[in-house]
Amino acid sequence: MNDWPKYYHNQLIVNNPSGIAIVCGWTKKELIWNNLSGEARKKVSIIGQLYSKEGINYIIRNIFLNPGVKALIITGSDLSQSLKELSDFLDSGHSDVIHPEIPEEKQKQFFDYFSGRYKSVGLQELDGHILGLEIEEDDWIVSPEDFPEHRTVIVNTFPSEETAFRVEDKKIAGAWLKVLDRIVKFGKEKMSSYDEPQRELLNILTVISEDVSKDPFLPDYMYFKKEDLLNYYPQIMTDNLFEGIEYTYGSRLRNHGGIDQVRGMIDELKRERFSRRAVAFTWSVEKDFNNPKCPCLDIIQAIVQNDKLFLTAYFRSNDMYRAWPQNAYGLLAVQEEIAQGLGICPGKLTIISCSAHIYERDLKEARDVLSKHKDLLECVYDPRGSFVIRVEDGEIVAKHIDPNGLELQEIKGRNCLEMRDRLAPFISDVAHGIYIGTELMKAERALKEGTEYVQDA
């Protein structure tokens, strides 16, 4: 059994070859282990965290490889509903997240045995429950059983600029589709520090202009509901700590060494509207240097411009499929709080995600979402304005109009190439640029042929 467990070996605490398996959700496994008495530890085989529902597959796979595991205990914080999914499976025998490579009869065998040999236990009762638990002597299966590896889609990647990918949308949901699209098309495959493959882009910069945290736009393709957001907000909008959790973004932003940094940002901008010092950090050098559990969100900065409150956030690491949308809404709520404290409206929210990744387990779902909603990807108004193009007196004329309909300037040129170079600085959106290029070619042809030019809507 020296090579057991097969999956996520370096992410687990392995004690005895037989006994109890403890699944502890988001609560640190080290905290669980350190709080157990010596006698309780003797009965524990393995302890591991369950961050996502997908991880249930690897619990089943690892236990099938060790007949000595004969009881399950579920405990700790359940921030992603993964523990609930596991307990529901053990109560009903059904879960939509189980890999098809684990045969249905084996799923039933696991359920039949462990449905009567598992319990959800609070952290305070854990030690006593373990000490009172009778462990059966006979193994629950005759010999270890392995299953075929989960088949994942083999993906290709396209050449790209490698870093600094800009995405903008009015709504978080729309930006999320574009983020998934960029990672699926251009992301690089590499391992993560969690022994799990990922697809990663560097420095995705997302800009959100019109969403609202209290009335979020959550179309059907989003995997969570408003209720899930309301449960998430306290993790960033309060300094509350949850049992077994070392910190939250809220605790670091609002009670970092006794300092409420969000309140401080408001006070700073009240004193000096043009201040560039309204900054808050979650990172603690003393605690987080060389700490594998350091915060993913590291810094936020608020700046007032055009009498609006703009917020910029930096993530060192961001799960763009499972975490980014909630992260974005949480930051939107913080931005609204600061803006309200100043008596002004929020401006745009900017999020920089350095390691912007999708884990391999989520790639198929990401592709499915994109295939069903790809028509929504690039529908955005260019924030630098639009152009009304005409042909007049032997020239191409482009009237530049801002997003509010104000006429800004007229730009003229004798051909498509001259106009391309003069218009380029005023175009930020690729789709808009392609459209303008098409219209300039039509206008140049009309000039050469002496025909009428009509701009397409």
Residue 294 is a catalytic residue? no
Do 318 and 355 touch, CB atoms closer than 8 A? yes
Q: Tell me, what amino acid is at 423? A: L
Contact 397, 412 (CB under 8 A): yes
The Cα 229–Cα 203 span in angstroms is 25
- Rounded distance between C-alpha atoms, residue 190 and residue 163, angstroms: 16
Query: Looking at the DSSP assignment, which residues form a beta bridge with residue 390?
Result: 397
Say which of 294, 296, 354, 416 is annotated catalytic: 296
Please, are residues 197 and 359 in contact by the beta-carbon 8 Å criterion? yes
Q: What are phi and psi of 207, to 5 degrees?
A: -125, 125
> 8 is written with which tokens?
């996520």
Write out the catalytic residue numbers: 296
